[in-house]
Amino acid sequence: MEKIPILKMGRFLLVTIQVDMHDQLALQLQDDLTARIVHDRAQGVLIDISSLEVVDSFIGRMISNIAAMARVLDAQTVVVGMQPAVAITLVELGLSLDGVRTALNVDKGMALLREQVAESGRL
């Protein structure tokens, strides 16, 4: 069964979504990610979707859920690498992903995460 790899970068976790997500994979990701956040005491999660050319409402909802779960575990989430066409589609679908911070690329995403973590006062 395929799994989406989760990489550790310092205090943060990096998830790169490269394949089409289906229910099973999404649930697996949620399980793995929440487990890793607790296990590694991660302060932030960076979700990279630069490989996704098509994002539907399912993935949109999944990203929102992951961000919410991470927040409950006191970790910030930033989504990076959204392609212009994807952004337009999400807006047209009415999914503006409120509550999910976004950045243009991994560099900016990391900077944003560090900022947010500093703001939230975690050591």
- In the region spanning residues 57 to 86, those forming contacts with other proteins, defined by CB under 8 A, are 80, 82-84, 86
Regarding 54 and contact with other proteins (CB under 8 A), the answer is: no
Smallest separation (angstroms) from other proteins to the CB of 83: 8
Query: Strand, helix or coil at 101?
Result: strand
Q: How many residues bind other proteins (CB under 8 A)?
A: 19
Smallest separation (angstroms) from other proteins to the CB of 49: 10
Smallest separation (angstroms) from other proteins to the CB of 50: 10
Whether the CB-CB separation of 38 and 73 falls below 8 Å is answered with: yes
Contact with other proteins (CB under 8 A) among 15, 47, 59, 97: 97
Six token digits for residue 99: 């509550």
Q: Measured on CA atoms in the order 28, 42, 98, 107, is the torsion positive or negative?
A: negative
